[in-house]
Amino acid sequence: MKKQEPSKLVEFNNLPKDIIFDIFSRIPLKTLCQFRVVCKKWQFHLCRNPEFRVFYHKKHKINPILIFNQQNTENPSTQLSSYFIDGTRLSQISTNFAQPLVSIFTCNGILCLISKTNVFLYDPITKLLSNLPNSKRFKSTFSWAFGYSKFRNVFKLLHFYTIEKFDNFHYCPINEVICEILSKPISDLWVDSLEEWRNLGNCPYEFLGRKNYAFVDGKFYWLVRENKFNFHCIRVMSFHLETEIFGIVCFSRNFSDRSVECLDLVEIRDRLCMTDRLPGQSSMNIWMMVKEDDGFANLWVKKYEIDLNGIDHHDVRILGHFPRRNNDDDDDEGEILMKIGQSFGFYELENGVYREMTSEVNKQEWGLQLLLNRKSIL
């Protein structure tokens, strides 16, 4: 009788991809991030494989996070407080930094923290922190922008700074805005590396308003003035993260008589939108740009009208958009987080219902900074 050969052990890396994905998806996120250093194949799945990221997000539906900020003037230091949104329950995770923060930006769940002398990348879920190389132009900083390239799996940080030059044509000194860029691959996201800032030259247009930007589908957008000496020539400037080229987006005639204080750019449902609210009005219009692949050439259409229920406060802003909690409908238009004066609340775009955030959050001394949502990375 022929002896039965002993069964061979199947190595983990030789398992079918679907089984590997299912095993990885059962591991806590903080531990999973540590597994990236085990071997090259694990690093590929956890850092560079978009299929696994989609699988993980669909399975877990990682809830958005509210980021609060409190500056301590005695030390000085900064404390960040992260609240996970889970239904109506908010659970707090706090982190201390040994220096005051000037700006806080977010993209795909990662925070870019900027102090007067340093730049950090920070993940409030895993609490991993890395230092970015310092720019030699920190003292003349004008503005920042932080985005993620899903095609190259890199984060990119734009730094705008000013230099003074004399305009021979108008016989006056002017400040020119220069742009430099820094790239950070996901594969060494939490390693203090030595990437160098690359100079992109002069910014072709002049920023307007609060210098806020919207990041949509691999592009940054700002409100600018096409002609530096024409105060009524408002445009939308774009920056393509892949090609690293500035451009101009069409500006609707609906906004031709607006001052820049009435307008703001936001991202809603992965589309570029512009909020439009005249002083004294208790409603806000939201215009959405229809993409070229929808059959139109960058056409602005009025998508929503938000009723502020008689609130006549000058400080009304949209801080972020996310799918409605506990809703599996892919066509659901979701909610936006709004700031009205010193209070915050959620507005359901489909039903037009506004509800204030819990009183515990609204009454605390912390300052709500932004809404953080993980879209395409772990």
Average pLDDT over residues 16-45: 82
Whether 242 is in a domain gets the answer yes
Q: Is 101 part of any domain? A: no
- The whole-model pTM stands at 0.84
Note the pLDDT of residue 143: 93
Domain that holds residue 33: 11-60
* Domains of the chain: total: 2
Q: What is the mean pLDDT of residues 329-354?
A: 82
- Identify the pLDDT of residue 153: 81
Statement: residue 296 has pLDDT above 70: no
Assess whether pLDDT exceeds 70 at residue 116: yes
Instruction: Examine residue 274 and state whether it is found in any structural domain, yes or no.
Output: yes
Domain membership of residue 5 (yes or no) is no
User: Is residue 256 in some structural domain?
Assistant: yes
| Average pLDDT of the residues in 1-9 | 55
Residue 330 lies in a domain: no
List, as own/partner pairs, every contact residues 59-62 make where C-beta atoms lie below 8 angstroms and the sequence separation is at least 24, other chains included.
Answer: 59/25, 60/25, 62/29, 62/109, 62/125, 62/374
What is the pLDDT of the chain when averaged over all its residues? 80
* Any domain includes 289: yes
Length of the chain: 378
Average pLDDT over residues 104-132: 87
- In degrees, rounded to 5, the angle at the alpha carbon of residue 23 between the alpha carbons of residues 22 and 27 is 115
Quick one: tokens of 357?
A: 């955030």
The pLDDT of residue 125 is 75
pLDDT for the residue numbered 112: 93
Rounded CA-CA distance 104/124 in Å is 13
Using DSSP's 3-state secondary structure scheme, residue 50 falls into helix
Distance CA 321, CA 179 (A): 28
Structure-block tokens of residue 255:
């906004």
- Which one is predicted more confidently, 312 or 71? 71
Of the residues 312, 340, 368, the one at which a domain ends: 312
Of 296, 312, 328, the last residue of a domain is 312
Tokens representing 102 are: 């000037």
Q: What whole-number percentage of the chain has pLDDT above 90?
A: 21
Distance CA(354)–CA(308), nearest Å, equals 8
Residue type, 341: G
The pLDDT-based confidence of 4 (bands split at 50, 70, 90) is low
Find where tokens 């230092």 sit: 131
